[in-house]
Structure 1
């Protein structure tokens, strides 16, 4: 999967910088194990509504605490919650710890809505896992926009509600 992503990035002429590192599962581990990289650190959430009919890939600044209930209200998704590892594998082809905006490339059926926090989208570049948690790509936001357009995903850019 990772190699297919790199081929797609090359075909679409998407610019990025790649950094390898030990596996990271949380933003805290990433901050500790990965040196300062050029780009905004982000946290990615894979969420679904209570009935499992709507799915969302949400990206926010790494330090942001998300108010899931308020986000569900804003997205008109009742009972918004974290999706199971099985759903993550089924919808985005990922394992826990590898959730990334770049996973939109695996959603050819357009079953997942991409949501990006406006503050994050205003950055020059965003740090993204390349479908695995052993590397990080620094991708300029304009390049991410082009890639998401290519995949047929128009991100919903919004002020994602924060916790207290």
Structure 2
């Protein structure tokens, strides 16, 4: 399986003529750690959660990293059933990723196209620039929301916006 590596992410962004900012830093295991390396720079610090529902339904949920994920509310908003964090092997299989490096860029690796992408509305209201690890935790990428949506749509996904409280 061809992996959407860091280099491929950059290549794809360049092909799509998407401008982005990049900070190189030591490996960051947590969002708190990553945030230290990008202190003072504009952009919403995000967390991307890879979830699994019943019947092998997968969900990528992107929200402000300070906001807790409410699984029950997510189910109510989306109609998803029995949602929980996906297991590491699901993460590897579906996005070619590991915990701590999950981002929308992992969709490049989802050959089955069986992941539904959700953004939390509040995060999009507050700031157009979002931050992610580009499939590796030694870089943080800064990208405008509109450009990220373009990237996701180019991968063949239709992101939905939900209003998590």
Q: TM-score, normalised by structure 2?
A: 0.90
Q: Decide whether aligned partners of structure 1 residues 18 and 47 sit closer, same or farther in structure 2, where only a CA change above 3 A counts.
A: same
Find out whether 1:116 has 2:119 as its counterpart: yes
Find out whether 1:87 has 2:90 as its counterpart: yes
| Paired residues, number | 160
- Give 1:128 deviation, angstroms: 1.1
Q: Give every structure 1 segment of 4 or more consecutive aligned residues whose post-TM-superposition deviation is greater than 4 Å.
A: none
- Give 1:52 deviation, angstroms: 4.6
**Consecutive unaligned residues in structure 1, runs of 5 or more:** none
**Consecutive unaligned residues in structure 2, runs of 5 or more:** none
Structure 2: how far apart are the matches of 1:72 and 1:25?
28
RMSD of equivalent CA atoms: 1.4
2:62 to 38, 46, 59: 59
Find out whether 1:107 has 2:110 as its counterpart: yes
1:62-106 deviation per Cα after TM superposition (whole angstroms, max 9, x unaligned) = 110111122122221221000001000000010111001222222
Q: TM-score, normalised by structure 1?
A: 0.91
Structure 2: how far apart are the matches of 1:31 and 1:16?
17
